[in-house]
A and B are shown apart, each in its own frame.
Chain A
Amino acid sequence: MSNNPFPLSSEDLMRAYRTMRTIRDFEERLHVEFAKGDIPGFVHLYAGEEACATGIMMHLTDIDRIASTHRGHGHCIAKGVDVHEMMAEIYGKATGSCRGKGGSMHIADLSKGMMGANGILGAGAPLICGAALASRFRGDRGVGITFFGDGAANQGTVLESMNLAAAWNLPVIFVVENNGYAESTSVEYATAVDSYVDRASGFGMPGVTVDGMDFFAVHEAAGEMIARARDGGGPALLECNVARFFGHFEGDAQTYKAKGENDYNRENRDCLKIFRDRVCDAGAATRHDFALIDLEVASLIDAAVISAKNAALPQARELLTDVYVAY
Chain B
Amino acid sequence: MPPKVGVIANPISGRDIRRVIAKANSLQIADRANIVVRLLAGLAACGVEDVVMMPERGGLAGHALRQMAQSAVRGNARFPSVSFIEMPVTGTAADSRIAAKAMSAMDVGAIIVLGGDGTHRAVAAECGATPIAGVSTGTNNAFPEIREPTITGYATGLVASGAVPKEIGLKPNKWLEVRIDGGPAEIALVDVALVSQQNLGARALWRTETFRELYVAFADPQLIGMSAIAGLIEPVGRDERHGLMLRLAPASVAPLVVQAPIAPGLVEPIGVEQWRRLPAGQPIAPDLAAGSIALDGERELTFHSRQNVSIRLVENAFDTIDVAAVMRFAATKGLLRERNKACV
> Chain A residues in contact with chain B, CB under 8 A?
5-7, 188, 192-195, 197-198, 200-202, 206-210, 214, 216-217, 219-221, 224-225, 228, 236, 239, 278, 281-283
Cβ–Cβ contact B201 & A217, under 8 A: yes
Closest to A279 in B: B199
Cβ–Cβ contact A198 & B28, under 8 A: yes
Closest to B198 in A: A5
**Count of CB-CB pairs between chains A and B under 8 Å:** 89
Cβ–Cβ contact B57 & A188, under 8 A: yes
> What are 30 sample pairs from A and B whose C-beta atoms fall under 8 A apart?
A5-B196, A5-B197, A5-B290, A5-B291, A6-B198, A7-B197, A7-B199, A188-B57, A193-B29, A193-B59, A194-B91, A195-B11, A195-B12, A197-B19, A198-B29, A201-B28, A202-B28, A206-B19, A206-B20, A209-B16, A210-B17, A216-B201, A220-B202, A221-B17, A221-B201, A221-B202, A239-B15, A282-B198, A282-B199, A282-B302
Bound CA–CA A293/B28 (angstroms): 44
Bound CA–CA A5/B289 (angstroms): 12
Cβ–Cβ contact A224 & B21, under 8 A: yes
Residues of A within 8 A of B17 (CB): 208, 210, 220-221, 224
Closest to A218 in B: B202
Cβ–Cβ contact A208 & B19, under 8 A: yes
Q: How far is the CB of A116 from chain B (nearest CB, A)?
A: 28
Dominant secondary structure of chain B at its interface with chain A? loop
Bound CA–CA A207/B28 (angstroms): 12
Q: Does B304 make an interface contact (CB < 8 A)?
A: yes
> Chain B residues in contact with chain A, CB under 8 A?
11-12, 15-17, 19-21, 25-26, 28-29, 56-59, 91, 196-203, 290-291, 302, 304
Q: How far is the CB of A131 from chain B (nearest CB, A)?
A: 21
Residues of A within 8 A of B202 (CB): 208, 210, 217, 220-221, 224
Cβ–Cβ contact B58 & A195, under 8 A: yes
Q: How far is the CB of A265 from chain B (nearest CB, A)?
A: 14
Q: How far is the CB of A3 from chain B (nearest CB, A)?
A: 9
Q: How far is the CB of B93 from chain A (nearest CB, A)?
A: 12
Cβ–Cβ contact A197 & B26, under 8 A: yes
Cβ–Cβ contact B201 & A7, under 8 A: yes
Cβ–Cβ contact B29 & A220, under 8 A: no
Given A208-B15, A216-B200, A282-B198, verify A194-B57 contact (CB < 8 Å). yes
Residues of B within 8 A of A6 (CB): 198-199
Closest to A192 in B: B59
Bound CA–CA A239/B91 (angstroms): 14
Cβ–Cβ contact A200 & B304, under 8 A: no
Q: How far is the CB of A250 from chain B (nearest CB, A)?
A: 28
Bound CA–CA A278/B302 (angstroms): 10
Bound CA–CA A239/B12 (angstroms): 12
Q: Which of B16, B25, B56, B304 contacts A208 (CB 8 A)?
A: B16
Residues of B within 8 A of A221 (CB): 17, 20, 201-202
Bound CA–CA A7/B210 (angstroms): 11
Residues of A within 8 A of B203 (CB): 217
Given A217-B200, A220-B202, verify A197-B15 contact (CB < 8 Å). yes
Closest to B58 in A: A194
Residues of B within 8 A of A220 (CB): 17, 201-202
Q: Which of B15, B21, B25, B201 contacts A209 (CB 8 A)?
A: B15
Cβ–Cβ contact B56 & A194, under 8 A: yes
Residues of B within 8 A of A188 (CB): 57
Bound CA–CA A37/B26 (angstroms): 49
Bound CA–CA A283/B20 (angstroms): 31
Residues of A within 8 A of B304 (CB): 281-283
Q: How far is the CB of B304 from chain A (nearest CB, A)?
A: 7
Bound CA–CA A197/B57 (angstroms): 15
10 more contacts with CB within 8 A, not counting A193-B29, A201-B26, A228-B20, are A194-B56, A195-B11, A195-B12, A197-B19, A198-B29, A207-B26, A208-B20, A220-B201, A224-B21, A281-B304
Leading 5 A-B pairs by shortest Cβ distance: A5-B198, A194-B58, A220-B201, A206-B19, A220-B202
Closest to B18 in A: A208
Residues of A within 8 A of B21 (CB): 224
Cβ–Cβ contact B26 & A198, under 8 A: yes
Given A7-B201, A201-B28, A278-B199, verify A207-B59 contact (CB < 8 Å). no
Bound CA–CA A220/B206 (angstroms): 11
Bound CA–CA A7/B28 (angstroms): 32
Bound CA–CA A192/B63 (angstroms): 10
Residues of A within 8 A of B199 (CB): 5-7, 216, 278, 282
Closest to B21 in A: A224
Residues of A within 8 A of B198 (CB): 5-6, 282
Question: Among A5, A198, A224, which residue has the most Cβ atoms of chain B within 10 A?
Answer: A198
Q: How far is the CB of B286 from chain A (nearest CB, A)?
A: 16
Q: How far is the CB of B28 from chain A (nearest CB, A)?
A: 5
Q: How far is the CB of B251 from chain A (nearest CB, A)?
A: 20
Bound CA–CA A53/B271 (angstroms): 37
Residues of B within 8 A of A214 (CB): 200
Residues of A within 8 A of B15 (CB): 195, 197, 207-209, 239
Question: Among B11, B12, B202, which residue has the most Cβ atoms of chain A within 10 A?
Answer: B202
Closest to A199 in B: B28
Cβ–Cβ contact B197 & A200, under 8 A: no
Cβ–Cβ contact A236 & B11, under 8 A: no
Residues of B within 8 A of A195 (CB): 11-12, 15, 58
